[in-house]
Amino acid sequence: MTALLSVERLHIGSGGRSAPILDDVSFAVSDGETVGVLGASGSGKTSLALSLLGLLPQSLETRGRVVFDGYNMLERAAGARRNLRGRRISMVFQEPLTALNPRQRVGAQVAEVARAHGERDAQKAMRGAVDMLHRAGLTDAGTRALRYPHELSGGERQRVLLAMALLLDPALLVADEPTSALDVTVQAQVLQLLRTLQRERGMAMLLVSHDLGVIATTCSRTMVLHDGRVVEDTATPQLLAAPEHPQARALVDAVRPAGRGA
């Protein structure tokens, strides 16, 4: 079976004399597969996520390949990448407030995703947006669609971002710390929603987090990133039971209840 996404020996330099941001990273994601990317702050998770969508800053030199839908995202023309984003591959970010336009009503921002990908009928785009906001769990979506981002709670804003990311039914969702800015109760609700939508659509997902608790409930496979390298890539239950790399062990111990042995 050919992979939906195949990352081959990806290297991202940081310019200057410091160590590379990513070094010799290789992995693949199949259709419908849920993969966690676990790593401490600074391990390169966000850079990896951005590279998959062709969103890395131009200033960073890259080597290797990021093959999605049969094309190398690092080499594709900007227009072709834009055409894939939202439609075939989508991303949600950690801080929904900075990812939304503060001056535009949230319903219009969701509708704009459809418009950007060719929907000419503005009313139809808005109906689709409200429907998707409803499916993303925004209560009273018809009315809330008319609100501005600052008039919603953090959890509601993250639901808006999810609606934008999932509107066009992408084959792969890249979620970078999607719940880290939310309090624990809301975090659990948004994760539950993410799992439900992923399953309903058979969508593949790369869930990036520093928190193994978040990944363990959601992803069947987990990669551990440390200083820009993949130090472990294994079935999540296997990682939880017997982490091999010292960094992986430290991250597992952080979520394991005290006293429970390996």
Ligand X SMILES: Nc1ncnc2c1ncn2[C@@H]1O[C@H](COP(=O)(O)OP(=O)(O)O)[C@@H](O)[C@H]1O
Q: How many residues bind ligand X (CB under 6 A)?
A: 12
Question: Distance between CA 65 and CA 77 in Å, rounded?
Answer: 14
Give the residue with the Cβ less far from Mg ion, 50 or 126.
50
- H-helix or E-strand spanning residue 127: helix 122-135
Nearer residue to Mg ion within complex by CB, 168 or 205 = 205
Q: What is the DSSP string of 79-90?
A: HHHHHHBTTTEE
Say how many residues make up the chain. Answer: 262
Please select the residue that binds ligand X; options are 46, 187, 198, 222, rule is CB under 6 A: 46
CB of 74 to Mg ion, least distance (A): 20
Query: For Mg ion, how many residues bind (rule: CB under 5 A)?
Result: 2
In angstroms, what is the minimal distance from the CB of 248 to ligand X?
Answer: 15
Binding track over 19-38 against ligand X, x by CB under 6 A: --x-----------------
Site string for ligand X, 47-86 (x = CB under 6 A): x---------x--x--------------------------
Quick one: 164 or 208, whose CB is closer to Mg ion? 208
Please tell me the distance from the alpha carbon of residue 109 to that of residue 103, in angstroms, as a whole number.
Answer: 10
- 159 closest CA partner among 129, 113, 121, 190: 190
Q: Which is nearer to ligand X, 113 or 252 (CB)?
A: 252
Half-sphere exposure of residue 134, counting CA atoms within 13 Å on the CB side? 10
Helices 106-116 and 122-135, packing angle to 10 deg: 120
Tokens for 90, please give them: 């989508």
Pair 56, 47: CB distance under 8 Å: yes
Using the minimum distance from each CB to Mg ion, give the nearer residue, 46 or 198: 46
| One residue of 27, 34, 43, 126 binding ligand X per CB under 6 A | 43
Residue 60's SS3 state is coil
- Binding residues for Mg ion restricted to 28-67, rule: CB under 5 A: 45-46
For 182, what's the count of Cα atoms within 13 Å in the CB-facing half-sphere?
Answer: 22
90 in contact with Mg ion (CB under 5 A): no
**DSSP annotation of 151:** G
Which of ligand X, Mg ion, none does residue 60 bind (CB under 5 to 8 Å by kind)?
Answer: ligand X
Closest approach of ligand X to the CB of residue 39, in Å: 5
* Apex 36 CA angle, 92 and 152, nearest 5: 30
Picked from ligand X, Mg ion, none, the partner binding residue 237 (CB below 5 to 8 A depending on kind) is none
- Residue pair 211/204 in contact by the 8 Å Cβ criterion: no
Residue 88 burial class via C-beta count within 10 angstroms: exposed 0-12, middle 13-18, buried 19 and up: middle
**Which of Mg ion, ligand X, none does residue 14 bind (CB under 5 to 8 Å by kind)?**
ligand X
* For ligand X, the closer CB: 149 or 178: 178
Please, which residue, 46 or 179, has the CB nearer to Mg ion?
Answer: 46
What does the binding site for ligand X look like in residue numbers (CB under 6 A)? Answer: 14, 21, 39, 41-47, 57, 60
What does the binding site for Mg ion look like in residue numbers (CB under 5 A)? Answer: 45-46
